[in-house]
A and B are shown apart, each in its own frame.
Chain A
Amino acid sequence: MKRILLSTLPGKLPPALALLLLVGTILVGLGLVVVTGFGYLPALGADAPSLESFRRLFADPRLWPSLLATLTAGLVATVASFLTALALAAAFDQAGENGQGWAHRFAVAVLALPHVALALGLAFLIMPSGWIMRTIAQASGLFPIPADWPLVTDRGGVALALGLFLKETPFLFIAYLTALAQIKPASQLLMARSLGYRNHIAWVKLVLPRLYPLIRFPILAVLAYSLSVVDMALILGPSTPATLPVLILRWANDPDLAQRFVAAAAAILQLLLVSGAILLWLLGEVVVKRLCSAWLSDGRRAWPEWIAKSGSLLLRGIGIVVVAAVFLSLLSLLLWSAAMTWRYPDILPQAISLAAWQRAGMTIWQPLGASLLLAIATSITATVLALACIEHEKHVRRYLVQRAERWLFLPLLVPEVSFLVGIHVLLVLIGLNGGWLAVGWLHLLFVFPYVFLTLKAPWRAFDLRFEHMALALGQSPWRVLWRVKLPMMRGSLAWAAAIGGSVSLSLYLPTVLGGEGRIVTLASEAVALSAGGDRRVVGVYGTLQTTTAALFFLAALLALRHRRWTAK
């Protein structure tokens, strides 16, 4: 009996633990928020359920414009990044492996780029006194003083949508390329071309319908994230009024404790908003499918020439804008970190100084160490846990796996402000607040789904016969895992861990709520300092945050390249 247990290693505990850890925590957090939203929080003297907080929420004049801006920014960003990433993936899929190389590397670099750093850099790029307008002013002699134009923090949320678009397009692009590698469309495309189809149209008619089911989840995650983002919205989003997630955070932190009920009610609304948007998206899928089913098989083999040409030109243009915007945003952060003064309309800093770096040199080590510790610990834990979950699948029927898996992605779909506030009360109740374990736990909630998502596809693609062969050669399951499967999968493992580490590095809200400010990371420092309006200090932290994340990916790339680590 004991031996059989060994053979079904690593057992059933890890998946159950993962579910409990992730889903349980979030559900408890949501539960506490819902209870509060309906006016029940005895510690504040509220013990009669009521709809009072909803009444106050809907009476607030900011609510509707805020909802509108939240929705526009979120939907525009999602649709734009979905379409752009799709077109780019299609173009690069047809360009073959060689063409993909640099685009893939660029996308990964953006993946490593923390949201806050990108938002700060982008804001400086596009604002009326920013880099682009300075260049125009210098070249044209117009604008002796900056124009009073709403280029950032605009009421419609366009700047926020742009920031999200820059960040999410590369994420989706990578997701698409990964999915494409799974369905291997080359032979189908060849077949279509032999039937007289032009490449683009063959891709849309043949590859896209198979690709879409594989990329649906990343899109929904982007949709949910874009509607719930806090840190980017603080920097790029509208201020009068702010987007709903930012308003929730304000209400939750309002010194007037009665506002916490409004915050909870708004958090419930936020949850409904995201659920509604997801439903809307799924509905859109059905409509598009209906409309296009006849078109798919109408036998048309090419777009009109001008559409194909202008489309490819437009795509090239967008691609260049994305790359340039990201690159210049980063560069501006780096320049700011070394600037003494840099005022409108100068294109380069008037004076260079390393003072900001020197001052940071005295205070940076603690947050840097904390960031690294959390990133490494949570990404390793998440990788081990994800590995255990996926290994466990072998012993379970497929539909059960899928059913359980849906729950694991809850943290990516539920708006974080909606449950983190409740989780904080839970942490206090069990005495974990303000400690490393609490922060690690909250980080794990967000790190795990990404790691799982990254590891899942390559791990499932692993040829199980290698494992069977090794076992049949008389080796123990542990030894087979250790000597055969892990070494053969080390690239995917390193990659997943790097993704996990970079997610942990960029987490703001979980760090602040779990650590109660006693645990300070680069991300939490960057946001706290950005409130102080000193771009030089923010530049230092943004640069460091980006560099740290980039190092994680660099290490993963090295692990991928190093082929034979067991050879003498």
Chain B
Amino acid sequence: MTIGATRRDLFLGGLALSVIWPLASQPARADSAPASNEAALAAARGQTVYFNAWGGDQRINDYIAWAGAEVASRFGVTLQHVKLSDTAEAVTRVLAGKIAGQMDGGGIDLIWINGENFAAMKKQELLFGPIIQLLPNMHYVDPVSKPTVLSDFAIATDGYESPWGMAQLVFFHDTKRLVHPLRTLPDLLAWAKANPGRFTYPAPPDFIGSTILKQFLLSLATDRTPLDVALDAVRFDEVTAPLWDYLGSLTPHLWRQGRSYPASSTALRQMLNDGEIDISMAFNPGDASSAIAQGLLPDSVRSFVLSGGSIGNTHFVAIPFNANAKAGAVVVADFLLSPLAQARKQNADIWGDPTVLELSLLTGEDRKLFAALPQGVATLSPQELGPVLPEPHPSWMEAIEARWLQLYGH
């Protein structure tokens, strides 16, 4: 008798919930995709744009907050920064929306993205676009001088991404303990042998960890051409042999004898600050200067790059296919690309992230914004940064990461 009562109660409970649910779910606001920038500007006013961007750096968060205030006063768009600890979380959410058949009114309007995350979203058709023809400020971008603005990790963006900033792999050293920068990999190896336990890199597939493998591979390779195209499984061993040889001699002299690796590049920076290691690295040439300004690194830290060029790429913003406020997202993306926003972003005191714009295409007025920028104490000049090496084709990276996991990752 009591069992029966329980079943009936469950039914009643279900009934109660089914009454609550429809009330709680918001009706999806129809937001027809804007066909032009003018249309976007008109539709954007009053919209709230949820910008999903990695939130691990207070400087960047402050910059996004500034951009939010600007787009609010200029275009009447409310910018909400959704702070991610991993961009892939946002990919997961858009995917979950697609699985559930949510084709409009999605929770994410704009994503800070590049590399594997972009490749995944593009492949699964999770993006809205192409969008770059809706962005007037794209006129100041030159794909010839900066080819990575249209090619994200060797994958054509096809206009689905709006470039936001430039990145290049840079090493940082504490001049108190490592006086002279190490410009070649043999130098690094010799130094590591003499100073065991003072160098390491984040465990791939962490972004910086993977980039280090790529950098080593490109620096050691005698012929880089096979890496520009899709993986050739037959030649994998031959092409990557220099990398494994080098790691084989380097690893025993790493931090904790290479038996453990830090989880991320920010952990690495913290370790440099704590004096547990002597070299760290980042994908932003201005990183050390702004870290010094904030007291996150000693002021004795300086930057260096490997001779022969370092890996570089571009990071972007993109709009999910089911974004609720597509017009607002277009307006924000265009503002982030404007000379004003780009110059502020490059300011070493604020963020120090290099611009994607081609300065020669700017008006004199706009160019002055960039000329007046301070250069950080630990930031290398464009000449010192040297040539940019393009990313190898992503298919190579999967195989290299898998091999690394087999050899060192467990």
Contacts and interface: CB of A to CB of B under 8 A. Distances in A.
Q: In their complex, do chains A and B touch, with some C-beta pair under 8 Å?
A: yes
Interface of A: 12-13, 15-17, 19-21, 41, 43-44, 60-62, 64-66, 127-129, 145-146, 148, 150, 153-155, 234, 238-242, 252-257, 260, 340-341, 343-344, 351, 353, 359, 363, 396-397, 400, 404, 424-425, 428-435, 437, 512, 516-518, 520, 525, 527-529, 531-537
Contacts of B93: 424, 433, 516-517
B81 to A, nearest CB: 9
Contact of B124 (A65, A241, A257, A351): A257
Given A13-B13, A425-B100, A518-B50, A434 B107 contact: yes
A62 B203 CA distance: 12
6 contacts: A145-B177, A240-B410, A424-B93, A517-B89, A531-B55, A533-B266
A17 B13 contact: yes
Contacts of B264: 531, 533
B364 interface: no
A153 B276 contact: no
Contact of B88 (A61, A150, A253): A253
B76 to A, nearest CB: 20
A145 B275 contact: yes
A75 B395 CA distance: 40
A155 B90 CA distance: 30
Please give me the 6 A-B residue pairs with the lowest Cβ-Cβ distance, nearest first: A431-B25, A16-B9, A532-B56, A148-B197, A533-B266, A43-B99
Contacts of A17: 13, 16-17
Nearest to A353: B295
A325 B398 CA distance: 42
Contacts of B262: 153, 239
Interface in B20-34: 21, 24-26
B260 A129 contact: no
Given A61-B410, A532-B266, A240 B203 contact: yes
Contacts of A234: 263
B365 interface: no
B295 A341 contact: yes
Nearest to A246: B263
Contact of A239 (B58, B120, B261, B276): B261
Nearest to A144: B275
B96 interface: yes
Contact of B9 (A12, A344, A351): A12
Nearest to A392: B9
B100 A534 contact: no
Interface in B250-281: 255-256, 259-264, 266-267, 269-271, 273-276
B6 interface: yes
Contact of A128 (B25, B269, B276): B276
Given A257-B120, A430-B25, A148 B13 contact: no
A329 to B, nearest CB: 17
Nearest to B197: A148
A239 B263 contact: yes
B212 to A, nearest CB: 15
A61 B406 CA distance: 6
Interface of B: 2, 5-6, 9-10, 12-14, 16-17, 21, 24-26, 50, 52, 54-58, 61-62, 65, 80, 82-93, 95-102, 107-108, 115-117, 119-120, 124, 177, 196-198, 203, 205, 255-256, 259-264, 266-267, 269-271, 273-276, 294-296, 298, 398, 405-406, 408-410
A353 B295 CA distance: 11
B296 A534 contact: yes
A528 B98 contact: no
A146 B274 contact: yes
Given A239-B260, A253-B89, A430-B25, A518 B107 contact: yes
B389 to A, nearest CB: 22
A257 B91 CA distance: 9
B259 A155 contact: yes
Contact of B203 (A239, A433, A531): A239
Nearest to A146: B276
A398 B303 CA distance: 71
B272 to A, nearest CB: 10
Contacts of A359: 58, 62
Nearest to B12: A13
Nearest to B196: A148
A210 to B, nearest CB: 30
Nearest to B195: A145
Among A12, A155, A512, A535, which residue has the most Cβ atoms of chain B within 10 A? A12
A118 to B, nearest CB: 18
B86 A535 contact: no
Contacts of B197: 148
A236 to B, nearest CB: 11
B127 to A, nearest CB: 13
B57 to A, nearest CB: 5
Contacts of A351: 295
A340 B295 contact: yes
A433 B9 contact: no
Given A16-B6, A424-B96, A516-B108, 14 more contacts: A13-B12, A127-B274, A127-B276, A128-B276, A146-B276, A154-B260, A240-B410, A255-B120, A359-B58, A430-B21, A430-B25, A517-B90, A518-B80, A537-B58
B96 to A, nearest CB: 5
Contacts of A62: 405, 409-410
